[in-house]
């Protein structure tokens, strides 16, 4: 994959000072990190990297949301995770891989920094907090995947869908006048992939919950109007 070319003016150090992998660094260190980075804007639906491709770069998402997608043995696309701004992605090196384990697609317009993977070991050795925060991120994502596996094995579909909505609200929710809106476009098909169920079942559940005033689903936007009721539905 060709390295993305810088497309924006020189970035200020303040962009990284609040992000956990870099929050312990001095300003001069952050300047060095930024000077080694490429920055790129992506349109919604763009592929940042592809499953199985050589992991030649790692990324920091500065703005937007990314959908992590896996391709099954039968060629079906399955959404595995959603990653919000402020997190690393494409960190194959952290799990001992030389290729990307999944495809990263932008769920919205996005802005990302990236560095050559050959700098990974230097970042780990040189920058305080980079390694611990990176592996914490890996642990959180593995934990989320494990939780979903347990849910699929032990929970009814209604509980799985409710739990998926609650996770998305917790990760990316934006307070609005009459509830909490998931702050990126998400379709009923996306929800069906996240919960290992059918589009028909997800549509039926959301329609029923809308009639009860629990959620509102319009044009790739889902708003949770009664989070407590969803918590009750999500219980075993």
User: What are residue 80's phi and psi, to 5 degrees?
Assistant: -95, -40
For residue 171, the enclosing domain spans 155-234
Q: Which pLDDT tens digit goes with each residue over 71-92?
A: 877 777 788 888 999 999 999 9
Between the alpha carbon of residue 137 and those of residues 20, 40, 83, 91, 112, the distances in Å are 10, 23, 11, 10, 17
**Same domain, yes or no, for 114 and 161?**
no
Q: How many Å is the Cα radius of gyration of the chain?
A: 19
Would you state the pLDDT for residue 9?
55
Specify whether the CB–CB gap between 110 and 71 falls below 8 A. Answer: no
Specify whether the CB–CB gap between 107 and 186 falls below 8 A. Answer: yes
The first and second tokens of residue 146, run together, are 């494990």
Would you state the pLDDT for residue 125?
95
**Same domain, yes or no, for 76 and 130?**
yes
**Same domain, yes or no, for 97 and 132?**
yes
d(CA 57, CA 120): 9
**Same domain, yes or no, for 29 and 138?**
yes
Report the CATH number at residue 221.
1.10.10.10
**Same domain, yes or no, for 57 and 109?**
yes
How many folded domains does the chain comprise?
2
**Same domain, yes or no, for 50 and 162?**
no
User: Which residue bears the tokens 């929050």?
Assistant: 23
List of residues 6+ apart from 167 with CB closer than 8 A = 144
Between the alpha carbon of residue 181 and those of residues 24, 83, 170, the distances in Å are 32, 16, 10
Would you state the pLDDT for residue 194?
85
**Same domain, yes or no, for 127 and 162?**
no
Q: Where is the domain boundary, 110, 143, 176? A: 143
Residue 2 domain flag: no
User: What are residue 82's phi and psi, to 5 degrees?
Assistant: -120, 135
**Same domain, yes or no, for 108 and 163?**
no
Report the CATH number at residue 127.
2.60.120.10
Q: Where is the domain boundary, 119, 143, 167? A: 143
Would you state the pLDDT for residue 5?
46
Residue 8 domain flag: no
Low-confidence stretches of the chain (pLDDT beneath 70):
1-9
Would you state the pLDDT for residue 142?
87
Residue 149 domain flag: no
**Same domain, yes or no, for 121 and 32?**
yes
Instruction: Say if pTM beats, i.e. exceeds, 0.85.
Output: no
**Same domain, yes or no, for 139 and 209?**
no
């Amino acid at each position: 994959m060709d390295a993305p070319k810088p497309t924006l003016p020189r970035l200020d150090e303040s962009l990284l000072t609040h992000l956990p992998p870099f929050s312990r660094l001095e300003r001069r260190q952050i300047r060095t990190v930024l000077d080694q980075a490429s920055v790129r804007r992506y349109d919604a639906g763009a592929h940042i990297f592809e499953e199985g491709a050589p992991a030649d770069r790692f990324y920091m998402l500065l703005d937007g949301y990314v959908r992590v997608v896996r391709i099954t043995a039968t060629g079906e696309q399955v959404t595995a995770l959603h990653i919000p701004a402020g997190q690393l992605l494409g960190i194959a090196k952290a799990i001992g891989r030389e290729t990307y384990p999944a495809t990263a697609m932008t769920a919205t317009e996005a802005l990302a920094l990236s560095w050559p993977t050959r700098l990974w070991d230097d970042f780990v050795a040189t920058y305080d907090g980079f390694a611990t925060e990176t592996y914490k991120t890996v642990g959180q994502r593995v934990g989320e995947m494990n939780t979903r596996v347990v849910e699929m094995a032990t929970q009814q579909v209604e509980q799985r869908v409710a739990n998926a909505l609650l996770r998305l609200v917790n990760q990316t929710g934006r307070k609005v006048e009459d509830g909490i809106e998931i702050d990126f476009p998400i379709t009923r098909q996306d929800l069906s992939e996240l919960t290992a169920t059918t589009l028909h079942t997800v549509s039926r559940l959301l329609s029923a919950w809308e009639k009860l005033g629990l959620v509102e689903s319009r044009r790739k936007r889902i708003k949770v109007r009664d989070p407590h009721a969803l918590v009750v539905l999500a219980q075993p």
